[in-house]
Homo-oligomer: A and B are copies of this chain.
Amino acid sequence: MINIAVLGYGTIGSGVVEVLKTNGDSIQKRAGDRINIKYVLDIREFPGDPIMEILVHDYNVILNDPEVKIVIEVMGGIEPAYTYVKQALLNGKSVVTSNKELVAKHGAELIDIAKERELNFLFEASVGGGIPIIRPLNQSLTADEIVEITGILNGTTNYILTKMSEEGISFEEALKNAQALGYAERNPSADVDGYDACRKIAILSSLAYGMQVDFEDIYTEGISGITDIDIKYAQKLDARIKLFATSIREDEKEVYAMVAPMMIRSNHPLYSVGDVFNGIYVRGNVIGDVMFYGSGAGKLPTASAVVADIVDAAKHLNKNIWTIWSSKKLELMDIDSVKHRFFVRIDKKKALLDDMRRIFGDITEVPEVVENEAAFITPLITEKEMKDKMEHIPGLLSRIRVRF
């Protein structure tokens, strides 16, 4: 019997308890031993819930119990999660977490502490919910030099963009629907402004390149500026707008990373990733293209990833599973020198396509969708050039990067 403690009895925590109960037999077979939840930590009470029998409010009870071999941190946020997790590792307990903020900020340090003590710090659930991506990056794509990781990593924004496209509704209306369905928080900023996706691509990039990628360094743009008219133009172009979180190694050297809406066509592997689903596309110099798809959030899919980590930690109680993520900082390429093509909409009363030709050179016209507007796609130019040129477009309505 292997004793574990679950920190936080919220959505994911209760999911973990449920999964360990529902699939107990097969999990025991896979882990090689029975997994027993000895404690659940939460500041709240849960009258009537059988969990009350093992509920504790004081973390020290868990920390000082040598029988607890694995601590499951599913509280979220940096504190007290960081302190608890570090204490657990220093006290000889492996840790499994679903906490992307914690992993993005302190992953390298916590991996090091686990490594020194032949423990494990596992975080499959921190990116892509149930989709296996951390373990494949760590253990399956080991023959490759990773050249690109691009993900649709935030279910809420993907749901909003899908609904805007399918139903022709505005961003605000789609967001309201997402909130009504519980897909979006009352304060949706972390999702719609791209901060959530930013932390996740920071984690994936750190693993892919084996060095610390600081999320603060990643250029991040959300979807709140995307309008129903942009979506109509995308449809006219046989394209879809997706919030891409991407990191690309250019010329086998420098890496750039960014989170931004992107227009893609059906030849892109992530094109058909709709609704709240996530997809992660990886390109290696040997394997070529690989894509992983599934539920990027939700109680049970996320709990599935947490429990898979628990199984792995149970199978490796005194043996560190090697993770390459050094604390050495990866200096990202200056985003200003990254090149894209841009879809641009202008107000015809203030500027004309001929003006645009003078500014951008060889542009591709886009058939009109809305009266008094003109739209076009720029040639490949740097972000810096685009910023500079935008200052000279009086009637600029929107600009979205294009990947086709």
A26 on interface, CB distance cutoff 8 Å: yes
- Tell me whether B266 and A130 are in contact (CB under 8 A): no
The verdict on A142 contacting B291 (CB below 8 Å), with A132-B136, A266-B272, A322-B32 known, is: no
Q: How far is the CB of A276 from chain B (nearest CB, A)?
A: 11
Of B135, B144, B210, which is within 8 A of A139 by CB?
Answer: B135
| A301–B289 alpha-carbon span in the complex (Å) | 9
| A22–B140 alpha-carbon span in the complex (Å) | 17
- Copy number in the complex reads 2
Question: Which residue from chain B places its CB closest to the CB of A32 in the assembled complex?
Answer: B322
Of B132, B141, B144, B285, which is within 8 A of A141 by CB?
Answer: B132
Main secondary structure on A side of the interface with B: mixed
- Tell me whether A144 and B23 are in contact (CB under 8 A): yes
A357 on interface, CB distance cutoff 8 Å: no
Interface residues of A in 282-332 (CB under 8 A from B): 284-295, 298, 300-301, 303-308, 310-312, 315, 319, 322, 324
The verdict on A143 contacting B311 (CB below 8 Å), with A288-B130, A322-B32 known, is: yes
Question: Which residue from chain B places its CB closest to the CB of A298 in the assembled complex?
Answer: B288
Of B32, B271, B307, which is within 8 A of A143 by CB?
Answer: B307
A108 on interface, CB distance cutoff 8 Å: no
Q: How far is the CB of A58 from chain B (nearest CB, A)?
A: 29
The verdict on A22 contacting B286 (CB below 8 Å), with A32-B322, A132-B140 known, is: yes
A124 on interface, CB distance cutoff 8 Å: yes
- Tell me whether A300 and B312 are in contact (CB under 8 A): no
| A269–B285 alpha-carbon span in the complex (Å) | 26
For A30, A140, A319, which residue has the most chain B Cβ atoms within 10 angstroms? A140
Of B23, B210, B324, which is within 8 A of A285 by CB?
Answer: B23
Give the chain B neighbours of A304 by CB distance below 8 A.
Answer: 141, 143-144, 284, 286-287
Q: How far is the CB of A349 from chain B (nearest CB, A)?
A: 40
A145 on interface, CB distance cutoff 8 Å: yes
Of B22, B143, B305, which is within 8 A of A303 by CB?
Answer: B143
Q: What mask results when residues 97 to 122 of chain A are scored 1 for a CB within 8 Å of chain B, else 0?
A: 00000000000000000000000000
10 shortest interchain CB distances as A-B pairs:
A143-B307, A132-B140, A290-B294, A287-B304, A291-B293, A130-B287, A286-B304, A142-B311, A30-B142, A132-B136
